[in-house]
Amino acid sequence: MNWMGVVLLGLTLTACNKEPGEGGKAEIRGTVYEQRYGATSGNPQGDPYPIAEQRVYIVYGDNEYADDDTRTGPNGEFRFAWLRKGSYKIYVISECNDYINCTEAIYRTVEVDERKEVVNVDRMTIRNY
């Protein structure tokens, strides 16, 4: 085998081992709800409801920061499409009641095991004071 054959073989083998991220046919879907809380009492006000235009973030594999984001539709649903097999973290930002202007991330870890799998994330509920 000449050097060109070795290079092509190396490229072929590394191309088969793809990291989590875009370029596949899988999807991750979910719904974000909002729960309102009394600013002074800290008690829930009414029932949670689907929230539109909430930003949802996705982290591919072991990355430290968000790789992409989307916004929820009118019914609170979101979708990340064209994903490869692998591990993903989905998160939304919620208010916390400890300090003024305090936020916290609500995470869900998701495994995509099949090439064309549709994975549904458990409902995510943010707080709003």
Give the mean model confidence (pLDDT) for residues 44-62: 97
Confidence category of residue 6, pLDDT binned at 50, 70, 90? very low
Q: What pLDDT shows up at residue 39? A: 75
Enumerate residues 6+ apart whose C-beta is below 8 A from 39: 129
**pLDDT at residue 7 is higher than 50:** no
- How far apart are alpha carbons 116 and 52 in whole angstroms? 27
Residues in a beta bridge with 70: 56
What is the reported pTM?
0.82
- Judge contact between 124 and 92, C-beta under 8 A: yes
**pLDDT at residue 23 is higher than 70:** yes
Structural domains in the chain plus CATH codes: 19-128 (2.60.40.10)
Q: What pLDDT shows up at residue 45? A: 93
Q: What is 35-85 written as a DSSP string?
A: EEB-TTT--B-S--EE-TT-EEEEEETT-SS--EEEE--TTSEEEEEEEPS
- How far apart are alpha carbons 100 and 89 in whole angstroms? 27
Strands 55-60 and 103-112: what pairing? unpaired
Q: What pLDDT shows up at residue 11? A: 47
Give the mean model confidence (pLDDT) for residues 70-91: 98
